[in-house]
Structure 1
């Protein structure tokens, strides 16, 4: 099947930022008396920001709960860390540039809020290379539901079977598969990671064009 578009996940693919979300949860929710343990935090890893906020409130309810205010505090804290720290995945800018030069359409599909995505693309200096940037905050459900990928394909004007998604998580791979796309698992040089949901596996972006696209 001829590929016409490549759609990227963001956290764990474009930037090494998942530790920032964990830290932001700890910083924000602990101030409301929430006991943020490693075991519980692991359950929130692939949730949307709204889902994370509801997750902690259900377990440790507090007075004057304001979901949107809490989400905003978490997102603001994450953005601060993205801007201040070196978190860019090695080689990703060159990889995206090469795809664009080969006339693939480029998309971003993330569970993170859109304003985080824009900060990330500005940090990587690749915003002008993306044809669509879409967040699950505009869908009724986040990944592993396929909605964010289906909408991204629609925005690109490419049918899902002509799209390939680059993901680092089982929930993201499931979302892309259920949308009818081919899938790549990106492992950030961890050879032990694999998935039955992935059609391809890339350790890093240095030789990824050859691995996935045969170029």
Structure 2
């Protein structure tokens, strides 16, 4: 089975979400740029980001700051979410050509992912019962729980799962879950030194890589 992260892997625009958080942080007195906010807040839990802003500024944020921010993000994503280039074709090829089951495991809420997938059309491929939210299930990465949950729902051993991720927290979640992982990231950017971690720079490379892995596994079984 293939497990996908959402932001940065299937849907772009995480920088839009972190820009909203940066804007809010500035309103509380933290002189942080959108670029700095993207590095600090990207892939993080909203509750912890709120705590970070409160600690940095000394301001008391609303107790439901994370829910307020979540609603703002959902509203924005319904209008501005964009597919990561190649996501639709890649997903269709995995399902129809390679015939592997797929699921999504993300720190985003289900409401946020619904907004992103419906506005990009990815909801035609990604069915609701195969989309799992680390936020809603209280299983945020880098904990492995959201990926282990997806494997359990599919009835597949974690050792037979592969994760496509773009964040360090997601890579760590896959590692802890005992799953293989492919990192989608520009090759000139740093990455964790996890033995066996595979890298691609564009989604167009993912299906050919899968085919290579599957062919190597078949050859290994023949010799074994």
TM-score, with normalisation over the residues of structure 1?
A: 0.84
Distance 1:43 1:107 in 2: 27
> Could you tell me which residue of structure 2 aligns to residue 14 of structure 1?
10
The 1:40/1:81 distance shift into structure 2, 3 A limit, reads: closer
Distance 1:138 1:73 in 2: 15
- How many Å apart are 1:86 and its aligned residue? 5.9
- How many Å apart are 1:61 and its aligned residue? 3.3
User: Could you give the per-residue CA deviations for residues 84-126 of structure 1, whole angstroms, max 9, x where no partner exists?
Assistant: 3363111101111111113311111111222111112212323
Q: How many residues align?
A: 207
Distance 1:60 1:209 in 2: 46
Gaps of 5+ in 2: 215-224
Distance 1:45 1:86 in 2: 16
Which structure: greater helix fraction?
2
RMSD (CA atoms): 2.3
- How many Å apart are 1:180 and its aligned residue? 0.8
- How many Å apart are 1:22 and its aligned residue? 1.8
Distance 1:115 1:151 in 2: 19
> Could you tell me which residue of structure 1 aligns to residue 26 of structure 2?
30
Structure 2 matches for 1:69-88, cutoff 5 A? 70-85=65-80, 87-88=82-83
> Could you tell me which residue of structure 1 aligns to residue 44 of structure 2?
47
**Do structure 1's residue 192 and structure 2's residue 185 form an aligned pair?**
no
Which of 142, 149, 152 matches 1:151?
Answer: 149
Gaps of 5+ in 1: none
Distance 2:94 2:176 in 1: 24
**Do structure 1's residue 120 and structure 2's residue 125 form an aligned pair?**
no
User: Could you give the per-residue CA deviations for residues 159-180 of structure 1, whole angstroms, max 9, x where no partner exists?
Assistant: 2111110001111111111101
SS at match of 1:206: helix
Of structures 1 and 2, the larger Rg is shown by 2
The 1:16/1:119 distance shift into structure 2, 3 A limit, reads: same
